[in-house]
Amino acid sequence: MRTYPTLSANVAQAFAPGRVNLIGEHTDYNAGLALPFAIGSGVTVSAAGRPGHRVDVHAADLNETDSFDAGAPAPIDGWRAFVRGSYAVLAQSGIRPSGASIEISSDLPQGIGVSSSAALTLALFLALIELAGEAAPEPVALARLCQKVEQEWRGAQTGLLDQLASLYGNAGQATLIDFQDLSVTAVPLELDGHRLLVMNSGERDSGAIAGYNQRRSECEQAASRVGAENLRGALFQDLHMLPDVLARRARHVIGENGRVLEAVEALRRSDLNAVGALLDASHARQLRGVDPGGRKRGPSVQGCRRAGCAPDGRRFRRQRDRPTPCRRRLT
């Protein structure tokens, strides 16, 4: 996350990066563990205040626009919902940004699992709060406000993974997030001459939000049936009490939390082979359990291999021509 010096009393600019989740899928809304990292690409929002309540927005990368009343933003679909929702949620929190001319620019692909919506909302909040002359809330409170936009204006009952990963991301590190107490720990992401690749699987799903909400509901049902507040409190020996789908949901979360902790320890001792094996195990479980069709949407994530072992472009790959890791510079 980066905010820029205010250019004048009524001009503000902010940047928020996208994120990739190294390991820890569908754990955030189950009070579990996740290990994401921020990437160099992100969303920049520039906002200039204007008299009155009119808000004009230009999404530069899409060449699309929107206009609405800052005091009464109406529901709408697509990226515009995040802008209008940011105004509405800020007003509910006691911060009332006035009319503005807003420019949005992004080099994040949309809809492939790198959290472009969370980055957009965070950048909007930071710029609008600055424009209103207010101090930004502490990170967890800010993340919750952004989450509220996703839930109330897009209907996605998301956890806090995307927002916290963007807020806490720094160069050369992953971020261990414990969603039971929302504690955050930096973990070194030293690739030892390997290259970290994120590949677009090319999958698109118009029902992604509905599928995500269904999975969250199934996890809640599983926790309730085994007498736990959430799946962080469930045990493998409880799974015999659950029907097949709910048992698979719970088994994944319980196992995934363990894999996250093992991945953290492996990164700390620079054992990338162990990290790769854990990624393979995590995504093999995902392929068996995320979608009825058996496919995991979003970036393709595979294992960690040494030189010559993964010529097909798997996630970690020894560079032959460059002596240093090829990572996008984070801001």
The answer to whether residue 329 scores a pLDDT higher than 50 is no
CA 34 to each of CA 4, 9, 60, 161, 164: distance values in angstroms, whole numbers, following the listed order:
29, 39, 33, 8, 11
DSSP alpha helix (H) spans, the chain: 79-92, 116-131, 139-153, 161-168, 208-225, 244-268, 272-289
Q: Do 34 and 161 touch, CB atoms closer than 8 A?
A: yes
Residues with catalytic function: 162
Question: Does the pLDDT of residue 327 top 60, yes or no?
Answer: no
Could you tell me how far CA 137 lies from the centroid of its own chain?
A: 19
Question: What average pLDDT does the structure give for the chain?
Answer: 84
pLDDT at residue number 259: 97
pLDDT of residue 210: 86
Query: d(Cα 102, Cα 11) in Å, to the nearest integer?
Result: 10
> In this model, does residue 180 exceed pLDDT 80?
yes
pLDDT digits (tens, 9 = 90+) for 129-168: 999 999 999 999 999 999 999 999 999 888 999 999 999 9
What confidence tier does 192 reach under pLDDT thresholds 50, 70, 90? Answer: confident
Report whether pLDDT(227) > 60.
yes
Please say if the pLDDT value at position 121 is more than 80.
yes
